[in-house]
Structure 1
Amino acid sequence: MTVHTVKYWLTEHPNIVNFRWSPTQSYASTWFFLFTAVSSYVIAAVSLHILLAVTRRRRGLSLGPIPALHSLAMALISAVIFVGILLSAAAEIRDTRWLWRRTRTTALQWFLCFPVGTRASGRVFFWSYAFYLSRFLHLFRTFFAVIRRRKLSFFQLINQSSLLCISFLWLEYSQSFQVVAILLTTVSYAVVYGYRFWTAIGLRGACFPLVVNCQAVLLGCLTVCHVGVLCIHLVKRGGCNGIGAWLFNSVLNAVISLLYLKFYVKTRSLSLRKQ
């Protein structure tokens, strides 16, 4: 497969170039679907946890190779989305650079701050839509944890539900910052899920908590980028597109960061006690 072929299938295919986020043209693109999906996810996870608790099984159930195959699939999907949105962003910069000269917008500013009036259509938003759909596959991790360990984490429920809502808002309001967020998140997921597959098939793991550290670095990078968006919005004439959704996104990101910080400190203290 040549580089030209890869670029065609990831950036120039008609379905990618002509993509448009619309309740009538895009699957799972309505508020009703989002609320139904999040509610069903929480209810199903809690019900499964209660059901297994009632049966009083001392050990979790075995899922065989399913979690490993899920991790492999998520690693590959995340890698494809990363490459796709990176190449698509480069193509959008190439095609619209002439327009940026009028508004004095640089490539870095565009990555963090879409011009006001940006519509959710084209290459970048196609891959944002693919990322949104992939969020539904991430939800299976919760059920794997409940079935195998009979453990339901409140943080996991909040984290997965919030990230699903955030990725929906990116498309619904053509929100700024999403390109960088998807790039950082997918490269992190490719590493994390690839590592999970590596250890699931019996290969030796890292000598440090790789998954926890990767997620901590990701949250730190996203926080820095949020600050960058705010700075550009305040100094740029007209501001950034979808800033209201970005504000809600920032609040959810802050909640997730605080919950994860608590989880990270607890994990580190337990590991130090074992040493």
Structure 2
Amino acid sequence: MNAEKPHHPASGYAILVLLLLLIMAGGTCVYYISPEVMVPFALVFIFLCKGFKIVNPNESRVLTLFGEYKGTIKQNGFFWVNPFFASKDISLRARNLDTNPIKVNDKLGNPIMIGVVLVWRVEETFKAAFEVDNFELFVKVQSESAMRKLAGAYPYDNFEDESEISLRGSSQEVNDELERELMERLAIAGIHVLEARISYLAYAQEIASAMLQRQQATAIVAARAKIVEGAVGMVDMALAQLNDKRLVTFDEERKAAMVSNLMVVLCSDRAVSPVVNTGTLHP
């Protein structure tokens, strides 16, 4: 038997009433027969009391009889089971695992620091109790292993190809992949993954400064490209409106000079100093 099965125990209250009646019967025998008669009654009472079990909400008890799995009690309440049963408590509550950031290499070989937050709970008590030695330690070790595999499958950032999935830029896709990986790894221990996501992501200290400069340079290039694109549109609009309203007639040389001046003004990262020409453009 390698799967969980429910166990339906007897009501603890009903058995408690029977034991109280047993004690009363023992007391009656002591009164009418002999005090020695009370000894077997007391021994039976103590032995049967070992069968009482209390199961709190979102907890369970795994029952075995001389090494044989007999079932799991998942309903909460006061119960009585065979006193020979050995029981093990397993919590069914949701738990958090916040791993410490570890140093790994991404797809491009860059050292990075990565940490994850995992929300999980026990779903199959048989697997949690008997398929692994310590299911809590198993969750921790497998989470770290999944982090290393995930980091090695994707680059930290996609500088060259924006469509490529990256750890920093594609958080939803990466978190979904992490959750699927952990569900496959932890299924052997009967663990259900409720949520898994990256909680910490950064370049390792030895390359953080250099990669920050690279990110800044990429951002500056992207900003400059946007500025140039806007400036070209503004220059084109200015020339078109001047031509439509026939305010000034430009030859090709003057158009080139005006375009050059406007591009310098619009693309400059500093405030320009206007120069007012009060004379003619040509001698």
Superposed pair shares fold, TM > 0.5: no
Larger radius of gyration, structure 1 or 2? 2
With CA pairs under 8 Å and 6+ residues apart, which has the higher RCO, 1 or 2? 1
Which TM-score applies when normalising by structure 1? 0.22
* More strand by percentage: 2
Which TM-score applies when normalising by structure 2? 0.21
